[in-house]
Structure 1
Amino acid sequence: MSPDSSICNETIDSCLAYADYDMATLNMELRGSLFRKPATGLGGNLGTASNNDVHDLLECPVCVNLMYPPIYQCPNGHTLCSTCKARVHNSCPTCRNELGNIRCLALEKVAESLDLPCRYQWLGCNDIFPYYSKLKHEKNCKYRPYNCPYAGGECSVTGDISHLVAHLKEDHKVDMHDGCTFNHRYVKSNPHEVENATWMLTVFNCFGRQFCLHFEAFNIGMAPVYMAFLRFMGDEEEARRFSYTLEVGGRGRKLTWQGIPRSIRDSHRKVRDSQDGLIIQRNLALFFSGGDRQELKLKVAGRIWREQ
């Protein structure tokens, strides 16, 4: 081999070595920029989200939610979450190949390295969380939408308070009243029909907030009762700043209830089943109604005030 040939080979090897070094350095920088975690605790922190491209890779093509292990893939590498895998009858939604039970372990490892924004960022939550802490946070995030408090049917509408107030008024035709005191009259022609009885909801605007007054009939064991209770359209912490009284009576008798309104974060059924409100047995309600006890005529008075 000639001297010139030896020098040329050394030069090529040197260039390749530098190219490998540059590529390795670039890969490390990319990994750092994509997956580096900020030095914060698990409670969440203000900051910017992880790389959007990686975020898109973790988005399930069926439900469009972020995927959590186990993440499945078809033989062609298309991924989807475990929940949607059961929905698509083991057929890849992208290429229609059979899915099988192939795990995408590489994507699961990527997920473990990420910090992501709360899904309710668009509603005002600016916290960033480690990937596996994100779900736990979102279940209790104070910015998450509220469920519609109307329980006369399975209403699936969610949103912020102003949206739900408009929804209750326009779609459910709920009565809206201003003021912190009220006196409502409930009339039912056949009070012996307790199960599936029509219940009523009234919304009060008070102290710049909204309160839902519920009145309905149901059974506690075998005993038919009527119940009135108040729910606050907001979080539990703010609900505890208010108190209310309910009063019902007739013929010189009176029942009074004082309590704290429950947040609409608690479902209507949960509040009702906890019996956290004014409960009137049917016989007593009919006694209060007077007449021949064949028609319910109850007056429920109440007041809401802010605790100091």
Structure 2
Amino acid sequence: MASGNIYLDDLRVKPEVIDPPKDEDLVEVSEDVNDPDQQALKPNLTVASSVHELLECPVCLNAMYPPIHQCSNGHTICSACKPKVHNRCPTCRHELGNIRCLALEKVAATLELPCKFHTFGCSGIFPYFNKLKHESQCAFKPYNCPYAGSECSVVGDIPFLVNHLKDDHKVDMHNGSTFNHRYVKSNPHEVENATWMLTVFSCFGQYFCLHFEAFQLGMAPVYVAFLRFMGDDTEAKNYSYSLEVGANGRKMIFQGVPRSIRDSHRKVRDSYDGLIIQRNMALFFSGGDRKELKLRVTGKIWKEQ
């Protein structure tokens, strides 16, 4: 990455390059690329791209936001990574100190950049210091794979993730808004967080993930079942669902709104936002000699009017 001093020297020689091209200039470039006046604008566009590269932290490779720090040789680093390198420049190993790169911060304020999710369909252009906030809320932001227990790092849009769940995780896929699932565990006294199941349902033109998991709540093992919506929270609120488990004249029912897969599986589980079944009650529902878990969970999904 180019040093801060080289950039500042170039800035003194060509101060005009930090001015962002006007909208009308951009139109003229696309309309008449042979015009000598428009040819002169190309260096400005190239410099804007170069400045964007200068704003990339050499450690985390993310865009840098104020305060941007630099060493005595002009090499820059973001404030989040500064303590990670023990106050030593990752480029030249000199001590970083508390030097701010104010010139680069000012230049960043002049930039307008596309959303990083433009490949997923976002066409917005944002001022540099507003871009991060937009991206955290961007409707085109890809979703994390909802498959729990594998720490899967795959991201993508909903159609891509549905195929990913089916092809790579071999998840059961069902059509319809009602379900009747049977969960069997040979030794219910051994409760591990990896003991869970996932099923995907397609209904109302949407996809829903039904989770069932055993986990430790305090000193006692419990079972939890809950539904997640494959989409954003605003859409998830258009739907409701119910879960029911019972036997021997007893019944437990949970009704709620599915959580978006924007919320992680662990977050939903740890908030107990679902059907919670204590082990003793689960064994009672299983019948027999209480040595094997046999739960039948039924449910339905409906769209709110």
Kindly state the Cα deviation for residue 190 of structure 1 after the two structures are TM-superposed: 0.7
Q: 2:152 aligns with which of 155, 176, 189?
A: 155
Distance 1:99 1:71, change over 3 A: farther
CA distance in 2, matches of 1:202, 1:289: 21
- Distance in 1 between the 2:149 and 2:160 partners? 19
CA–CA separation in structure 2 for the residues paired with 1:194 and 1:266? 24
Counterpart mapping for 1:106-255 below 5 A: 106-196=103-193, 198-255=195-252
| 1:256 partnered with 2:253 | yes
SS of the equivalent of 2:195 reads coil
Shift of 1:31: 4.7
Give 3-state SS (helix, strand or coil) of 1:272's partner. helix
**Is the counterpart of residue 98 in structure 1 residue 94 in structure 2?**
yes
Q: Is 1:273 aligned to residue 273 of structure 2?
A: no
Aligned to 1:293: 290
Superposed CA RMSD = 2.7
Deviates more, 1:74-83 or 1:267-276: 74-83
State the number of aligned residues. 270
In structure 2, distance between residues paired with 1:137 and 1:99: 34
Contact 2:68 2:102 in 1 (8 A): yes
Larger mean CA deviation between 222-231 and 58-67 belongs to: 58-67
Matched residues in 1 for 2:218 and 2:55: separation? Answer: 49
Q: Give the residue type in structure 1 aligned to 2:126.
A: F
- Sequence identity, in percent? 70
Query: Normalising to structure 1: TM-score of the pair?
Result: 0.78
Alpha-carbon deviation of 1:307? 1.5
Matches of 2:111 and 2:138, distance apart in 1: 19
Mapped to 1, the partners of 2:21 and 2:60 lie a distance apart of 24
Give how far 1:76 is off: 4.0
Q: Secondary structure at the match of 2:119?
A: helix
Is contact 1:35–1:113 with CA below 8 Å preserved after alignment?
no
Counterpart-to-counterpart distance in 1, 2:114 and 2:277: 48
What does residue 33 of structure 1 align with?
A: 20
> Cα offset for 1:107?
0.3
Q: Which amino acid aligns with 1:307?
A: E
In the TM superposition, residue 66 of structure 1 has moved relative to its aligned partner by 1.6
Contact 1:251 1:288 in 2 (8 A): yes
Please state if 1:58 is matched with 2:45. no
| Structure (1 or 2) with the larger CA radius of gyration | 1
